Structure 1
Amino acid sequence: MELLRNAVRPYAWGSRTALAELLGEPSPAPHPEAELWMGAHPGDPSRVLDDAGAEQSLLARIEADPERELGGRTAARWGNRLPFLLKVLAAEEPLSIQAHPSAEQAAEGWRREEAAGIPRDAPNRNYPDPTPKPELLCALTEFHALAGFRDPVRTLALLEAVRTPGLAAYTDLLAGQPDSAGLRALFTMWITLPQQALEGLLPDLIDACVRHVKERGEFTRECRTVLELGESYPGDAGVLAALLMNRVVLQPGEAIFLSAGNLHAYLRGTGVEVLANSDNVLRGGLTPKHVDVPELLRVVDFGCGDMPVTTGELVGRVRVYRTPAPEFELSRVSWSAGERDAVELPGGRPRILLCAGGSVTVRGGDRELVLGPGRSAWVPAADPGLTALPTGADGGELFQATVGGAAGRHDER
C-alpha cells in the first residue's frame, strides 16, 4: 500500500475551483481543471511514492510484476493491464454528447481502423484501442447530466409544449411512431441536418423555451437545458438531441451506470467516476472535436425510459455500487462527525483508495497511511486486507475502486 501522485487534466470544460479546493491548492486555479486521474492509463499514469519519496509509474510497476500487483486471475483476464481508471471529474461547462461501444463493436472498429492505417493518435480516430468503455459516475456535489432517451410519450408532451412551425413536422414524425424506432428516425434526422437548417430551426426553439420557463411550465428543467446548451453551443445539433434525453440530477452519493451505447453528456458538477481503461468515444455534438455521425449511429442504444439512479447496496458499513461491468467495481465508506468505528476492506484484488472528504487512516499489515481530501493510494492484490477509520472527529469519506466481482471476494490470485 503506497501513496499516489496523480495528474490533473486541464480540459476547457473543467472547473477552476472544485479540484483545487479538494486538493488543498490555491483557488481559483489559473486554468480550468477537469479531471484527476488515478490509475495506469498510458496517457497519464499515476506515480507510486515510496517511503523515501522516490517515484515510479504505476504502469511500470504493474508491467514489472503483474502477478503481484494485479493478482493472477486479473492479470490473465486483462492481459497484464489494470482494467479500470478512477477519476474525480469536475465539470463547469457541458461535455460532448457521446456514446461508447460494446466489446464487440470496439474490437471490430479497432481492427477496421488499424487496417485503414489511421494513426492511433489521429484526431479522426474513433477506436484508439480494442476495448469497451462502460462508466459509473457517483456524485460528490449535485451533479447534472443528460443520460439515455426519455420515454417518447413524455418527449412528445415536451415537443408540444415548445411547438414551433419548424418543429411541427418532427413532432408529428415521432407522434406517428412513439417508440425506439421513432426515436432513432428523429435523432438521425436532427443529427444530420445541414447547418443552414439548424440555424433556421434553433432560434424559434430557444424563444419557445424562454417563454416556457417564464410561464413556469411543466418542462422548465428541460427548457433550461436547451437554453444553457444553446448559449454554449449555438447552432449545434446537440441542442436538439437534448430534447430527446433524460435530464438527470444526482445528489451526493447517488450514481448512474452508463453501459455500451448509452447516449449521455455530463453538464455540471463534481463526481467520482470509474470506467474501463479505454479511450473509445463516439461524439454527437456539443464539441469542437471529431464527430462521426454514421459510426455514432452504429453504436447508440435507442432503448428508452427513465435513467436508473442508484445509491448502491449496503454491505455492512460499505456501500457497493454494483454494475454488470467486469472491469471495475466502486464502493464507498462514509463516517459522520463523531463516528470512529473501523471498517474492514478485504484484500486479494488490486485497488485504488481515494479520500473524498475529511481524513481517513488506512492500516494493513505493518503499513499505515493517512489520506486527506483528494489523496489516494495503490493497494496491490498481494497486500493483505485493510482497516479504515476516520483520523479525527470530523468524519471522512473513502472510495475504493477495484476489478469487478462479488463484494468481499478475497483471493484473485
Structure 2
Amino acid sequence: MLQDKIFKLKGKVQHYAWGGYDYIPQWLGIANAEHIPYAEYWMGAHPSAPSVIVTQNGALSLNQLVHDHHAEFIGEKVFEQFGELPYLFKILDVKDMLSIQVHPTKAAAAAGFEAEEAAGIKLDSAFRNYKDRNHKPEVMIALSEFWLLHGFREKDALKNVLQTVPEFQPLVSIYGDGNYKTLSEHGMYMQQEEVNAMLVPLIKREIQRKQNGELTKNDPGWWVSKLYEGKEEWGNIDRGVFSIYFFNIVEVHPGEAVFQGAGVPHAYLEGQNVELMANSDNVLRGGLTPKHVDVGELLKHTTFEAIVPNVMKGEQKENGETNYPCPVPDFGISKIELHENGSYQNTANSLEIFVVIDGTMSIKGMVNNLSVSKGEVAVILAGETYHISTDSHVLSYKAFVP
C-alpha cells in the first residue's frame, strides 16, 4: 500500500457546449489553442470520470483506490455509511445558460434507476434520466459575480409578473391564488404553436429593451435576450423561457454560497463557481437544453412552493476557515484563506480534497509534505493530521465528509 498520506490530484475536464473558453485553462495554466469550451473540472471518484492521484508508483485511479483500500482512503465509517467517496467536487465556468433542472430524492432516484434498468434503457442512452441510485443535493460557492435561477418567486411577486407582462395575462386566472403546479403544467404542456404565439412577441420586445439599455441582469428579459438575440433562426421557442420569469433570479458574490436540495428547480445562468454535490449524475431537465428533456419526470419531482433564496456568507471559524453548513451527510465544504504567516491545522475524518484557487500553500503531514499552487489540487487521506501554511496568500476550498 502507499506510504504517503498527501498527494496531488489530477481532475477531469468536461467540454460541455455551455462552458467558457478561458477561465479553466487559465486557472490550470494551459493553452486552449483549439478554442473548445472548458465547462467543468471534476475532482473525485465518480466512475464516469474518476480523478487520478500522483504517486511514486505513477498515476492511479482514485475510484479504484477507494474501492480497493477504503479504510486508508475514505475511512471505515464513511465506507460503511456510503460504500464510496460520497461527494463530487467541481470547478464550473458557465458562459451560456444551463438547463432548467431538478434533482430527485434518494428514494426517488433508486426507484427511477431500477425502473429504467428493468425497461432495458442503456446507461449511456440519451433518453436515460437516472444514471445511478443516488440523490444529488449540491452547494455552489461563487468565484466571480454569479447568476442563477433558484426556486419559484414568492406568491405575490409571481402574480405581479403575470399581471404586468402583457403576454402572460391569460395565465393570471390559471395561477389563481398561488397555484404553482397548475401554472407550471400549463406552460410545460401547452401546444408549441401557442408557446410560439405567446413568447415570440415577448422576446422581440425584451431584445429591443435590452438594446435600449432598459434592462439589467436582475430582469428576466435580460436573460431571455441573451438566449435569442443575434440568432438568425429561432425555430420553436423553448418553454424553459417561462421559468426565467417564474423563478427567483439570484446574484451571488465571490465567497457566497447557495445550497440546492432535492425538488428545488434551478438553472445556472452565468459566472464561475466551485460546486460540491453528492456523487451522482442524476438530472431531470425541463428546457433550455439540447439534452434529454422529460417534462413529466421533472414535474413529478418538483417542489411547487415559493422559496426565499438563502445566500450563505459562511460561518467564520478560527485559522482562516469559513464553513458553509449543508443539511446533508454526504459532504461539507469550507473556504481556507490564509495570509502571510497564517496557518490551518486539522485531522481528516474522511478523504479531503483541497482545490487551490489562488496563491500557494504548503501542507505538512505526519508522513510527507506537499506544496500546492493555483490550478492544483491536493488530496489528504482519512486519519491524517496536517498543517497548512503560506508565505504570502492562498485561497482554497476543502471538500470533506462531515
For the pair 1:137 / 2:140, whether they are aligned, the reply is yes
CA contact (8 A) 1:38 1:86 kept: yes
Q: Which residue of 2 aligns with 1:184?
A: 181
Stretches of structure 1 that go unaligned for 5 or more consecutive residues are 406-413
> Which residues of 2 match residues 57-136 of structure 1 at below 5 A?
57-79=61-83, 81-136=84-139
The whole-number CA distance in structure 2 between the counterparts of 1:327 and 1:356 is 23
CA contact (8 A) 2:218 2:249 kept: no
> Which residues of 2 match residues 316-331 of structure 1 at below 5 A?
316=318, 317-331=320-334
Q: How far does residue 46 in structure 1 lie from its aligned partner after superposition?
A: 0.6
One-letter amino acid of the counterpart of residue 69, structure 2? D
CA contact (8 A) 2:10 2:52 kept: yes
The whole-number CA distance in structure 1 between the counterparts of 2:217 and 2:366 is 55
Q: Which residue of 2 aligns with 1:373?
A: 374
- Alignment length, in residue pairs? 391
For the pair 1:386 / 2:389, whether they are aligned, the reply is no
Q: How far does residue 226 in structure 1 lie from its aligned partner after superposition?
A: 2.2
Q: Which residue of 2 aligns with 1:356?
A: 357
Q: Which residue of 2 aligns with 1:4?
A: 9
The whole-number CA distance in structure 1 between the counterparts of 2:221 and 2:366 is 55
The whole-number CA distance in structure 2 between the counterparts of 1:400 and 1:29 is 32
Q: Which moved more, 1:251-260 or 1:230-239?
A: 230-239
Seen in structure 2, the aligned counterparts of structure 1 residues 220 and 348 have a Cα distance that, compared at 3 Å, is closer
CA offsets, 1:340-393, max 9 Å, x none?
2111122222111110111111111132111111211121113x2221122x32
When normalised by structure 2's length, the TM-score is 0.93
> Which residues of 2 match residues 324-339 of structure 1 at below 5 A?
324-336=327-339, 339=340
When normalised by structure 1's length, the TM-score is 0.90
Stretches of structure 2 that go unaligned for 5 or more consecutive residues are 1-5
Q: How far does residue 326 in structure 1 lie from its aligned partner after superposition?
A: 1.0
Secondary structure in 1 matching 2:397: strand
The whole-number CA distance in structure 2 between the counterparts of 1:157 and 1:402 is 43
CA offsets, 1:112-167, max 9 Å, x none?
11221211221111112111000001011111111111112112222333223xx2
Q: Which residue of 1 aligns with 2:308?
A: 306
Q: Which residue of 1 aligns with 2:53?
A: 48
Secondary structure in 1 matching 2:46: coil
Secondary structure in 1 matching 2:308: coil
Seen in structure 2, the aligned counterparts of structure 1 residues 254 and 219 have a Cα distance that, compared at 3 Å, is closer
CA offsets, 1:227-283, max 9 Å, x none?
223448761000112110011111100010010011111111111000011111100
CA contact (8 A) 2:135 2:262 kept: yes
CA contact (8 A) 2:216 2:222 kept: no
The whole-number CA distance in structure 1 between the counterparts of 2:367 and 2:216 is 59
Seen in structure 2, the aligned counterparts of structure 1 residues 220 and 258 have a Cα distance that, compared at 3 Å, is closer
One-letter amino acid of the counterpart of residue 350, structure 1? L
Seen in structure 2, the aligned counterparts of structure 1 residues 76 and 108 have a Cα distance that, compared at 3 Å, is same
Q: Which moved more, 1:17-26 or 1:155-164?
A: 155-164
Q: Which residue of 2 aligns with 1:289?
A: 291
One-letter amino acid of the counterpart of residue 98, structure 1? Q
Q: Which residue of 2 aligns with 1:205?
A: 202
The alignment yields a C-alpha RMSD, in angstroms, of: 1.9
One-letter amino acid of the counterpart of residue 9, structure 2? L
Seen in structure 2, the aligned counterparts of structure 1 residues 375 and 74 have a Cα distance that, compared at 3 Å, is same
Q: Which residue of 2 aligns with 1:397?
A: 395
1:158 aligns with one of 138, 142, 161: 161
CA offsets, 1:94-119, max 9 Å, x none?
11110100011111111211221211
Secondary structure in 1 matching 2:166: coil
CA contact (8 A) 1:191 1:241 kept: no
CA offsets, 1:37-77, max 9 Å, x none?
1000111111110146x111001111111111111110111
